[in-house]
Structure formats: C-alpha cells, structure tokens
Amino acid sequence: MSSCLVRKKIIIIFARTMIENISGESHLQGRVEVICGSMFSGKTEELIRRLKRARIARQRVMIFKPQIDTRYSEMNVVSHDHNSIQSTPVNDTQTILKQSVNYDVVGIDEAQFFDRSLVDVCNKLAYSGIRVIVAGLDMDFKGVPFGPMPDLCAIADEVTKVHAICVRCGALAYASHRLVRNDSRVMLGEKAEYEPLCRECYRKAIEEDARNARSGDLFEGKSL
C-alpha cells in the first residue's frame, strides 16, 4: 500500500472520529453515567473533563457537590490535580432535582456522601432527557460499598471504573486505606489520611491495623 493511500485512510479515520465526537456531544439523550473508583484514581478529573467537553458543545451544564466537601473549595468541584469547575453545594438530593430544570447535562461529584434517594433523582433526570454524570467512591475505607454508589452502578447506562496506583507495590489500586485511627465512615481527607492500595496490599494493611489496634488497646489498658 502506497504512503499516499495510508495518509488518506488516516485522514478518513480522523474525520470519522471527529464527526462521532461532535455528534455524540450534540445529540441530547437522557442517560446516567457513573465514574467510580478509589481515592486518587482520577474520578473528579474525569467528571470535570466530560462536563467541560459538554460546555464546548454549547450544552447547558449544571454541577452539584455535597455541602460537606470543603477540602479545596467551598463552591467549586476541584480534583486532586487542582483542576476545577464551578459547582453548587447542596445538602439534599431534592435540591438537585429542582435546580436541574432547563439543563442538558448534570454533574454530581462525591456522590457517596448523598443518601440512596440520589438513585431515584438520577433516574428521573435521565427519563426527562438529561445526561447525568456521577462521580464517587465505590467503597469506603473498610472495603464496603459506599452509600448510593452500588445502586447507581446498577441503574447506570455506562459505568467507568478508574484506578489509582497502589503506593506500596505499583499495581492497580483496589481500595482506599485510611492511615489515621478514626472509625467514622465519613472523614474528609487527603494523602495524609488515605492511601490507594491494591487488593493484596490492602489486605495486609488491614491485618496490620488490627494488630496495631490490639497492641494499642493492651498498652492503654496497662497504663490505666
């Protein structure tokens, strides 16, 4: 095959891809997309990317986040890499439903902090023709499915699982391991409080935490 034909094929493939991308963003269809994974896996980064892409396509975009998430900003959705997009902090899912009228695309970050009524809200928005993009932790620090995330994954049209890198062995991370002793399920934190670990390193870390807890309890008992 001549180099001229190769170049023509490449141009045709590129043109088709661009047309598909443009038509995909401009064709409005109700759907639910879920982006899930451990901490530091790029969930918010991917959410911001999709929302900004929708805005480039001149779609009306609305973004929500839980009001309790004030780690980087009280108002904006901010990734760990400090990319950001303006958002509306809310306390309940009904506010999301009410304020999503007249929008084409709705983004929801840190979805695990909302209650399970978020599933019904996302379904209602999708059935009304809105594209809903949800990002959140799929499991808590104990490895238990977090809040509405498992149900959202079940009803979603598309689920994207993103992965951090295990900080101990370099494999794909499986879960978020908490580095501080705190049993509260909801605890906002960053690299000082959490680390992404693969399944095997997470298992070892949990066993080590249990041994340290027993040792600490024994030590505290002796000091009383």
- Categorise residue 215: left if φ over 0, alpha if ψ from -120 to 50, beta otherwise: alpha
77, 1 in Cβ contact below 8 A? no
110 has catalytic annotation: yes
Which residues lie below 8 Å from residue 27, measured CB to CB, with a gap of 6+? none
- Nearest Cα to Cα of residue 160 among 191, 186, 193, 136: 136
Phi, psi of 204 (to 5 degrees): -65, -40
Among 25, 46, 110, 195, which one carries the catalytic annotation? Answer: 110
- Kind plus residue range of the DSSP H or E element containing 62: strand 61-66
- Nearest Cα to Cα of residue 96 among 51, 137, 70, 126: 126
- 3-state percent helix, strand, coil for the chain, nearest multiple of 5: 40, 20, 35
| Positions marked catalytic | 110
